[in-house]
């Protein structure tokens, strides 16, 4: 047990930052405090398997305290009391601060999550800033309509903030998911109680210092802790009026149940996937190979939209597989602070065990390990980039989300064959199609069950473009103007101009 509220990180020799100290207490009312139970959770660096910090193990009581702070801010300084243009300005200030602190934030992300520092800098932090800035732009543009019913009556709609919002995020893109949640909720005038993942809480804690420079106390509150404690307290809270979650389909279901059993709060869920990546025989081969490797091995396969099932048309299967194999073997698996690393470790021991269990199931069920299939090195939670072939659709590796550097490559005959195969999962998050024939690519795009379809590319996520799943991949959309609908309550006001009283 420890009540020390500071993280003191040291970075490997040769890195531009030597060390970093910052607060890690529960962030409530722009102040830091220990958990009410006084307990902490160990945070480990997955590339080195070392304890790097301790953060508070929050409780339901701490969530109550955070909700109270958020409600007070909502009733006094935020919501409709703070005009949209001012909320937008503050979001843009936070975006600027993220950019000014890119080195610190990316270094923390690399140590805490294990992803390559260079990628964290160029992608995670810069996209997080871009997302906050994008929603800063929306803050004074989200408004209702005038509805002219007839000459005697009109109505207006107002898009009001909802109030206190609960948010729960995972560990694969810790800072980026933080920004995806904060941006639209704050732009619309809500106050937030957010739980960051217990395995990767540090970049959000660093960011709280920046939040405290910009936002009034209570507008954003960060409570760390376990899912079945803090997460459950958020999703079942009677005064939290909406909950947004990113994570597993299993937990998404639990959150919906908790919301239904408490105050029927609306729920948005961004869940798992088993996304098909379809390569037709007329595709640009080099491009298809390169995007496909990126589509799965980016972030060590720990992406909800990872292209984990590749379907290759029979006539080009051998050539594609040979080129993909060479590409995958050329990717550097390594420490996050090495300049050329691309594939990092699994983010936790638990995730490492889950991935290796999936690899074992593939072997046991008779699939062929074409590349990899083992642990990489003996320090940290690295796994060799792995390709399975000779896979049948009923195998676990073809159906279940692995969330690691494990790819399944299968053949297909023609359009109808591949559409049936692509849609044969409970998920519907993303899909990609590689073809030079735009008519064919669009036919398939219209037929796959997926919330996002990429044509001749993969893993493109932009703040302006909505993202979310069909089927058991989720409910609602994040990003773009669509995300604003999650965070506003529409009020219709009827105005009588000359309509006579009916009695």
| Residues with catalytic roles | 270
Binding of ligand BAL at residue 197 (CB under 6 A)? no
112 or 198: CB nearest ligand NAI: 198
Sole residue written with tokens 């979001």: 91
Question: Is 227 in contact with 168 (CB distance < 8 Å)?
Answer: yes
Segment near ligand BAL (CB under 6 A); pick from 31-39, 40-48, 216-224, 297-305: 297-305
Question: Is 409 in contact with 391 (CB distance < 8 Å)?
Answer: yes
Query: Is residue 90 classed exposed, middle or buried when 0-12, 13-18 and 19+ CB atoms within 10 A define those classes?
Result: buried
User: Number of helices (H) and strands (E), helices first, in the chain?
Assistant: 15, 24
x/- track of binding to ligand BAL for residues 227-246 (CB under 6 A): -------------------x
Tell me the C-alpha distance between 370 and 462, whole Å.
Answer: 34
Nearest approach, Cβ of 26 to ligand NAI (angstroms)? 15
Q: Residue 116: phi, psi to the nearest 5?
A: -60, 135
Size of the site for ligand BAL (CB under 6 A): 7
Nearest approach, Cβ of 265 to ligand BAL (angstroms)? 21
Start-to-end C-alpha separation, the chain: 71
Binding of ligand NAI at residue 248 (CB under 6 A)? yes
Question: Is 207 in contact with 175 (CB distance < 8 Å)?
Answer: yes
195 or 323: CB nearest ligand NAI: 195
Among 304, 324, 359, 441, binds ligand BAL (CB under 6 A): 304
Segment near ligand NAI (CB under 6 A); pick from 7-15, 84-92, 143-151, 264-272: 264-272
CB atoms within 10 A of CB 193: 32
Instruction: Report the residue closest to ligand BAL, judged by CB.
Output: 303
Residue 489 DSSP class: E
Residues 6+ apart with CB under 8 A from 267: 235, 242, 243, 244, 245, 255, 256, 259, 475, 476
Residue 232 interacts with, from ligand NAI, ligand BAL, none (CB under 5-8 Å by kind): ligand NAI
Question: Is 25 in contact with 33 (CB distance < 8 Å)?
Answer: yes
Segment near ligand NAI (CB under 6 A); pick from 30-38, 195-203, 405-413, 458-466: 195-203
88 or 231: CB nearest ligand NAI: 231
x/- track of binding to ligand BAL for residues 253-282 (CB under 6 A): -----------------x------------
234 or 316: CB nearest ligand NAI: 234
Q: Give 100-108 contacts, CB < 8 A, sequence gap 24+.
A: 101/206, 101/210, 102/126, 102/129, 103/16, 103/17, 104/17, 104/20, 104/206, 105/175, 105/203, 105/206, 105/207, 107/9, 107/11, 107/15, 107/16, 107/17, 107/20, 108/9, 108/20, 108/202, 108/203, 108/206
Please list every residue from 28 through 57 that binds ligand BAL, using CB under 6 A.
none
Question: Is 156 in contact with 144 (CB distance < 8 Å)?
Answer: yes
248 or 389: CB nearest ligand NAI: 248
Among 104, 172, 410, 488, binds ligand BAL (CB under 6 A): 172
At 387, is the secondary structure helix, strand, or coil? strand
Size of the site for ligand NAI (CB under 6 A): 26
Binding of ligand BAL at residue 303 (CB under 6 A)? yes
Segment near ligand NAI (CB under 6 A); pick from 118-126, 226-234, 365-373, 409-417: 226-234
Nearest approach, Cβ of 254 to ligand NAI (angstroms)? 5
Please report, as ranges, the residues that interact with ligand BAL according to CB under 6 A. 172-173, 246, 270, 303-305
Please report, as ranges, the residues that interact with ligand NAI according to CB under 6 A. 168-170, 172, 195, 197-198, 226-228, 231-232, 235, 246-248, 251, 254-255, 270-272, 304, 354, 401, 403
């Amino acid at each position: 047990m420890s009540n020390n509220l500071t993280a003191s990180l040291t970075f490997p020799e040769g890195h531009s930052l030597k060390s970093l100290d910052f607060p890690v207490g529960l962030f409530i009312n722009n102040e830091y405090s220990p958990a009410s139970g006084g307990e902490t959770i160990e945070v480990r660096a997955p590339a080195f398997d070392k304890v790097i910090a301790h953060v508070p193990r929050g409780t339901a009581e701490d969530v109550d305290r955070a909700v109270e702070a958020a409600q007070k801010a909502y009733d006094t300084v935020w919501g409709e009391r703070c005009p949209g243009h001012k909320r937008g300005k503050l979001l843009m200030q936070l975006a600027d601060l993220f950019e000014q602190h890119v080195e610190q934030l990316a270094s923390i992300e690399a140590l805490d999550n294990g992803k390559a520092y260079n990628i964290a800098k160029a992608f995670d932090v810069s996209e997080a800033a871009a997302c906050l800035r994008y929603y800063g732009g929306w803050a004074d543009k989200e408004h209702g309509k005038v509805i002219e019913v007839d000459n005697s009556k009109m109505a207006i709609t107002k898009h009001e903030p909802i109030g206190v919002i609960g948010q729960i995020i995972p560990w694969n893109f810790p800072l980026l998911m933080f920004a995806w949640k904060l941006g639209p909720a704050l732009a619309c005038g809500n106050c937030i109680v957010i739980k960051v993942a217990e395995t990767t809480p540090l970049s959000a804690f660093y960011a709280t210092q920046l939040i405290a420079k910009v936002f009034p106390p209570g507008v954003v509150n960060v409570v760390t802790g376990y899912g079945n404690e803090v997460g459950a307290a958020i999703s079942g809270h009677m005064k939290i009026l909406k909950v947004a979650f990113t994570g597993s389909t299993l937990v998404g279901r639990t959150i919906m149940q908790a919301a239904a059993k408490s105050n029927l709060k609306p729920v948005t869920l961004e869940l798992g996937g088993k996304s098909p990546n379809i390569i037709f025989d007329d595709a640009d081969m080099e491009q298809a190979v390169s995007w496909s490797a990126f589509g799965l091995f980016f972030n060590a396969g720990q992406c909800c939209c990872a292209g984990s099932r590749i379907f290759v048309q029979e006539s080009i299967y051998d050539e594609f597989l040979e080129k993909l194999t060479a590409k995958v073997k050329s990717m550097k698996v390594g420490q996050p602070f090495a300049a050329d690393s691309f594939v990092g470790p699994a983010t936790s021991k638990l995730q490492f065990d889950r991935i290796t269990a999936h690899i074992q199931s593939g072997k046991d069920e008779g699939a062929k390990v074409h590349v990899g299939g083992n642990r990489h090195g003996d320090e940290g939670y690295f796994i060799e980039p792995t390709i399975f072939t000779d896979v049948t659709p009923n195998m676990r590796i073809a159906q279940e989300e692995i969330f690691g550097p494990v790819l399944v490559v299968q053949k297909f005959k023609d359009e109808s064959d591949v559409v049936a195969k692509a849609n044969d999962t409970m998920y519907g998050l993303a899909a990609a199609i590689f073809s030079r024939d735009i008519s064919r690519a669009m036919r398939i795009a219209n037929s796959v069950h997926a919330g996002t379809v990429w044509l001749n590319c993969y893993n493109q996520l932009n703040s302006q473009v909505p993202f979310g799943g069909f089927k058991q991949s989720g409910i609602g959309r994040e990003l773009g103007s669509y995300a604003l609908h999650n965070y506003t309550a529409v009020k219709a006001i009827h105005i009588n101009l000359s309509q006579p009283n009916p009695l």
